[in-house]
Every structure is written in C-alpha cells, then in structure tokens.
Amino acid sequence: MLLLFLIPGWTGVNERTLVAVKPDGVQRRLVGEIMRRFENRGFKLVALKLVQASEDLLRKHYWDLRSKPFFRGLMSYMSEGPMVVMVWEGLDVIKTARNMLGENNPADSLPGTIRGDFCVEVGRNVIHGSDSVESAEKEISLWFGQNELHCWVHNSRPWIYN
C-alpha cells in the first residue's frame, strides 16, 4: 500500500497516519474532541471505525513490544473496551499528529497536546498515533482493508494549503 503521494504545488509530502482512541479515551468520551482537533488542524479523515480489537490483532499491532515487561498489561488494557480507529491524511500528518498527541508519558506532555490535556499516567494515555511512514503503512493495513480507505476531495484544501 502506497501512502505517500505528491500533489503539484506542495512543498511537503501528503501522508496518511493511523490514530486510535484507546479504550480509556472512548470510555471518557474524548473521541469527538480528538476528532475536532484533527479536523480543525486541516487534516482529512479517510477511514473511521469503532472496534473491539481481538487479541490476535493487538498482538500484531504491538509485536515489536512483545519482549517488554509491560507487554502483558498493555494487551489487557487495550482489550478492556472498544477503540475508535481512524486514518487521517494531510501534509506531514505523521509528524504533526505525534506533536498533537504529546509524549507517551503524559507528565512529559505540554498543555495543549491531547495527552497533556487529558492524561495523568502512561498506563492510561488515551491515544495512539503512528510514529513513522513505515509504521503507518503497517498499522493502516492491519486495521483497515483497502476498500475502507476513502479518497475524496477536501473542499477547504485551498484555504488550508498554499
């Protein structure tokens, strides 16, 4: 799956990233606020679903963390309830989304970031975002089928991008 595509006249790369509101964020009813922040920033939503993740899917998603001491707890936490999984598209969306999320440890996150505004401890940090183009490609293909990614015209694009 190719996620990077160039748009004539743009100086950056138009990307896609996976953003997932974790079970604690869904339970705390933060989904709308998080979506609002991405929409207000000018990013385009191209996929969205509410899902109760299977153990198999979570294991694939967090495979690189399997040797960490917190892996079992992470798997349990992510299985506690439904998640809202989204794909956002836009200019440098991966880097920008990571900045919007804040640090993994909420204590290190600045006010104005999602974790800085809504989280207290690492074990309940509300949201996940892809950290690179490679991880975005992998994660999007795990959570969404190709037919679930929608291409549509963002009518406000000329008001967001130069």
Q: Please identify every residue annotated as catalytic.
A: 128
Which residues make Cβ contacts (< 8 Å) with residue 122, sequence separation at least 6?
104, 105, 106
Question: Which region, left, alpha or beta, applies to residue 73 given φ > 0 means left and ψ of -120 to 50 means alpha?
Answer: alpha
- Strand arrangement, sheet containing 83-91: 44-51, 83-91, 14-21, 127-129
Residue 17 has phi, psi (to 5 degrees) of -140, 150
